[in-house]
A and B are shown apart, each in its own frame.
Chain A
Amino acid sequence: MGNIHQKTAPELQEQDDFETFRRLISSEQLLGDSRVLGKCATELELDDFLRAVVDLDLQSLIDKLQAKDGLNAYTVLCAYARRMLDCQTRLDCVAGVVMEAFQTAQDTDTLWYNSEEKPPLYGIPFSIKCDGESGLANSPITTHLRNLGAIPFVTTSISKTPHPRNPWALDCSPGGLCGGEAALVADGGAPFGFAPDLDAGSLRIASAFCGLVTLKPTRDRFHVSGSNSYGFYTKNVQDQVFLLKLFIGSAGYRGLEPMSSPAPLMDLKLENKLKIGWFEDDGFNAPVPSNRRAVVDTIGLLEKQGYEVVKFEMEDIFPPFQVAQMFFKTQRPVDSNFIPNLYKSNSQCLGRFGKFLNFPKLVARISKRAAVISQSSNMKEMCKNLEDIESYKLKFIEYWKSLGVDVLICPAFCIPAVPEKYLPELVNTRLSTGLFNMLDFPAGIVPAGHVTADDVANLEDEKIFPIDDALLRKQRDACVNSEAMPNSVQIVGLPNEEETVLEVMKIVENLHGPMSNPKGF
């Protein structure tokens, strides 16, 4: 397997690469290319054929690639490269292209097209995570995907985001650090994506903002260098399970990443109907009406299906503001810098907000939630905090077991996708996802309809959404134009019980029906 050698390029070089890509997939180029299947005679036929390829869901695409005399890697790559360029024009979600992709696809076809046994991801294009400082990553995930026959064709950035736009509303953010990847997948520019779930849950936030399915596994169940959990973005739960099975416990992946657990992803044998815990508010930061309703509606649907549901009282485990304090202390490693990991992409706005948080007394007067966020800590307090977190984990699990629940359903986030300018100031919302990083619980996101006009109207009703804090007011302001944005729920399980989480994700997905595609498709 050849190495990808591409230095970090200045923008001009990236533009040239995009143009080269565009030329390679122009109609004139492809109509005469025998590597492209479909036997299209006209530009119109070609366009229709390639669009039909990218409209396939992942399983159908895999079936056609695996079939004898089915699709080949080169054709699928051309189809996705075209769609990707359209996405890029609209969303600016891609950092660069992989120039070797076409050669890789051709080589892959030469090797596998006529073979009876093809690797499971033969011909599937995917994007590579790119950390701007160190060039293209040749990480075990990428290597394993290539070993499975997949074709890397674009890069999306983690630390150097190009301000991607959300495919559902171009003025909204697709989510912080992983937004480019999520936007690309949601807009159909790649069959699936993968991204790290950085400390506060960036994988899941982007998934919720873009209407995708994802799961953050228990940390060592799917070990990745650098110690962050990684997860996939897919359009549905079935694809999520398929991809996770190729990695979790896989001998091939463990050959590349030996620290991963060898326990494979098992098929769940259900003896009893699952018992489901739920909460709509973690007690620290209330979700806006749309995100709360997503949970309530989901629980209502499950009850109608005969599932036993139990209210999960977060206050009964530990005071919510103290839990928030524990979490935010882990996010503030240095006294003089504020949460550098959370919002690298918007340092100017962050800087102003961060300075404000350095005046604790002023902060406490204006916002009790901001006061929790701005707690400073020294060495002694940090050690105490680590001990408190261990103690909280035990309490949480004890409470969980005392209720006898199998999974927990809760808000995916406090807000739906909002304009990017609001995000740096809504750090308070991060506990929704970050809690399960702190606990190291597997946590998945499943789409659950859309924000409705009623949801938006309810923002103004202080009986439904009480404003007792400056940050909650800002949260409300951020959501006034969120109608029609994707809505989601979060589904959480005990460590090493990804199988149960995925099962419930599937059930919830079926109850809500398939997610529609962003307008502009």
Chain B
Amino acid sequence: FYVHFSNNRKKLIERLEIVAQRRRDDLSKNVEQARKAADKLDTQRRDWIGSLDFEQLRDELQRGHVTCVEAIRAYFHKAILAHEKTNAVTCFILDAERQAEELDEQAKLPYYVKPPLFGVPLSLKECLKVKGYDTTRGFVQDAYHPATEDSIQVEHYKKLGLIPFCQTNVPQSLLSYNCSNPLFGTTTNPYDSTRTCGGSSGGEGALIGAGGSLIGIGTDVGGSVRIPCHFTGTAGIKPSKMRFAHRGGGASVPGKPLIDANDGPMAKDVKTNVEFLRNVWGDIDFQSDRDPYCPPVHWNESVYSSEKKLRVGYYIDDGWFTPTPALQRAVLESKKHLEAAGHTVIPFYPPRLPSVMQLYFRAVCLDGGQYVLNKLLKDIIEPTIRFQVTLWMVPVWIQRILSYPVSLVFPRMGMLMQSLTRDTFELREAYADIEAYREEFVGLMMKDNLDVILCPASIMPAPQHDIPSKVVSGVSYTCLYNLLDFGAGVVPVTAVSKSDEEKLINEYPETDKWYQITKKATLGAVGMPIGVQVAAPPYREEAVLRTMREIEIAVTGK
């Protein structure tokens, strides 16, 4: 049987390699076409447009000093440079130039009112549906299956005047926090190409971090917006799922209703995120009308602009995975910034993180990981996630049995090996437990009258590309807020310093394999960006953004 299976897989892989190569060739041509479009713009003008920040470009577009076509060409150019550096782009949306031309023509009409984000270029994570373009999620088998319609949100962004101009890379299956797949290859960190940009919105993080886009959209189911922001020194937020429409979006695993993916904006700074969301949520009826499940909850300016001092709960260690020293220092520095601004910052202890990790993996791998595994076995498996796939191939009941001896030498791994569900009863129990945990967590915040939570963005700065699949449990700082369905964002605060490295060597634990891997991966990370995470219950994203913005102002001065 194995020989037969092996032969079949070999043939399958040969066919897939041909498709993958063809797709990569198409991407090369696509990049050349984008370069031709970009070259139509005068170099000096292009560089000036490229030097504008989001607000400046938006204002110039509103005044007509910059045309939409010019903006698109300028960003084709910048994105190509970023792509050459990081391999971030999977496809330039060449149709963007035509869309820009249309907008420029409409702008000449006397009665035309420019939408608020008229002509601003927008980059999109590849799994977001754009009519006529692929959403492969890094699977070769899904190449050349273009979307037949835009998702509701892409429709909405276009209505607001934004112009999607490129799609960005993702890890195969979207369930890793690196950014490699057999179709488009590996996307690297703009600060260090031997390190990952994060995932699964890693292409967005790399592109924005390398200056190739002003504003992009990622998706987040376990930290996939926030981890790339942290690794690449950018800012982004994952709102609670209710604040966006979801019909027409694509989850990687069907039937995953309790831990939903949600879109989230990503940008160089918090200010841009705020401006983007102010416009999207100011016009949320567009989405509510098309997806009745999306409540018509508008942008709340009074919460964002409030002068009332905030009460902030903070922690530097969640009790499951101690972050490396730079991440702890980032939280403590942010705490000082907030206190200097007059806010109250007190310790908070997220309850029972080991149980949370079990619940999270149980809910995300709804069927024990079988759907994704089956899909991977019909595809070329990305080498950097082979370790993860190997784990998935072990039947749930064997994992349960092996978890007992493993617990003796590696307690945390043993616990995770008991996570996957065996039957529908356990799954139903997991859902009830998640609901109960949400109430418990919110109850603790209410007891201390907390507005937001401040905590590390991850366990470490950007590691090498194969590390994420070996330290799967390192998503505990971000996946907690997916389990809770909180709004949660990341803002860059500092960079790894020499003294952080010394502390890492001298003080960081080596008590189990995960800590050893993390420690080793963090050696040599001096200079890598470090962010912090801010989170709050649903419908309070404005409080999260306000807190993030205050930290940003304290760190950057603007």
Contacts and interface: CB of A to CB of B under 8 A. Distances in A.
B254 interface: yes
Contacts of B348: none
Interface size of A as a range: 20 to 34
Interface stretch (A52-60, A175-183, A381-389): A381-389
A265 to B, nearest CB: 12
B428 interface: yes
Interface stretch (B35-43, B288-296, B307-315): B288-296
Contacts, number: 89
Interface stretch (A63-71, A113-121, A358-366, A492-500): A492-500
Contacts of B540: 258
B102 interface: no
A159 interface: no
Interface string B366-383: 111011000000000000
Contact of B292 (A256, A377, A494): A494
B537 A383 contact: no
A497 B203 CA distance: 38
Given A334-B424, A378-B423, A258 B292 contact: no
B368 A333 contact: no
Given A333-B428, A379-B367, A385 B292 contact: no
A220 B257 CA distance: 15
A261 interface: yes
B275 interface: no
Contacts of A306: none
B425 A333 contact: yes
Interface in A189-238: 218, 220-221, 225-227
Contacts of B538: 220, 258-259
B481 to A, nearest CB: 14
Contacts of A397: 292
Interface residues of B, number: 36
Interface string A369-405: 0000000011110111111001000100100000000
Nearest to B485: A259
B255 A380 contact: no
A440 interface: yes
B428 A386 contact: no
Contacts of A334: 424-425, 428
B271 interface: no
Interface string A231-273: 0000000000000000000000001101101110000000000
A261 B539 contact: yes
Contacts of A378: 423-424
A497 B295 CA distance: 9
Contacts of B256: 386
B152 to A, nearest CB: 12
Contacts of B423: 335, 378-379
A225 B436 CA distance: 8
Interface in B393-443: 421-425, 427-428, 435, 438-439, 442
Nearest to B246: A390
Contacts of A262: 297, 300, 539
Contacts of A386: 254-257, 366
B109 interface: no
A220 B240 CA distance: 12
Contacts of A495: 292-293
Residue of A218, A256, A383, A390 ringed by the most chain B CB atoms within 10 A: A383
B247 interface: yes
Given A383-B371, A386-B255, A386-B257, A258 B446 contact: yes
Residue of A220, A259, A386, A397 ringed by the most chain B CB atoms within 10 A: A259
A346 to B, nearest CB: 22
Residue of A377, A387, A394 ringed by the most chain B CB atoms within 10 A: A387
B242 interface: yes
Nearest to A330: B428
Nearest to B248: A394
Given A261-B242, A496-B288, A379 B421 contact: yes
Interface in B293-325: 293-297, 300
Contact of B438 (A256, A259, A494): A259
Residue of A379, A386, A394 ringed by the most chain B CB atoms within 10 A: A379
Contacts of A387: 254-255
B368 A379 contact: yes
Contacts of A382: 255, 424, 427
Contacts of A494: 292
Given A262-B297, A379-B421, A384 B255 contact: yes
A261 B256 CA distance: 22
A344 to B, nearest CB: 16
A496 B442 contact: no
B427 A379 contact: yes
A390 B439 contact: no
A160 B300 CA distance: 43
Residue of B295, B366, B427 ringed by the most chain A CB atoms within 10 A: B295
B255 A258 contact: no
A262 B292 CA distance: 16
A385 B254 CA distance: 10
Contacts of B442: 258-259
A220 B297 contact: no
A326 to B, nearest CB: 12
B296 A390 contact: no
Contacts of A226: 435, 439
Nearest to B296: A263
Interface string B272-297: 00000000000000001000111111
Interface string B34-54: 000000000000000000000
A225 B439 CA distance: 7
A148 B257 CA distance: 35
Interface in B523-550: 537-540
A259 B367 contact: no
A260 to B, nearest CB: 8
Contacts of B421: 379
A131 to B, nearest CB: 14
Contact of B255 (A261, A385, A440, A496): A385
B87 to A, nearest CB: 33
A158 to B, nearest CB: 16
B71 to A, nearest CB: 35
Nearest to A497: B292
Nearest to B431: A227
B537 A259 contact: yes
A383 B254 contact: yes
Residue of B255, B294, B424, B537 ringed by the most chain A CB atoms within 10 A: B424
Interface in B503-540: 537-540
A35 B198 CA distance: 69
A3 to B, nearest CB: 15
Interface in A317-373: 333-335
A491 to B, nearest CB: 16
Nearest to A336: B425
Interface in B349-388: 366-368, 370-371
A335 to B, nearest CB: 8
A497 B255 CA distance: 25
Contact of A380 (B367, B439, B446, B539): B367
Interface in B66-106: none
Contacts of B428: 333-334
Interface string B234-275: 000000001000010000001111000000000000000000
Nearest to B538: A259
A263 B257 CA distance: 23
Contacts of A394: 247
A263 B427 contact: no
10 contacts: A218-B293, A225-B439, A255-B446, A259-B438, A259-B538, A333-B424, A334-B424, A334-B425, A390-B255, A496-B294
Given A382-B255, A386-B257, 9 more contacts: A220-B538, A221-B295, A258-B538, A258-B539, A377-B424, A379-B368, A379-B423, A386-B366, A387-B255
Q: Which 6 A-B pairs have the closest CB atoms?
A: A386-B255, A494-B292, A387-B254, A495-B292, A333-B428, A387-B255
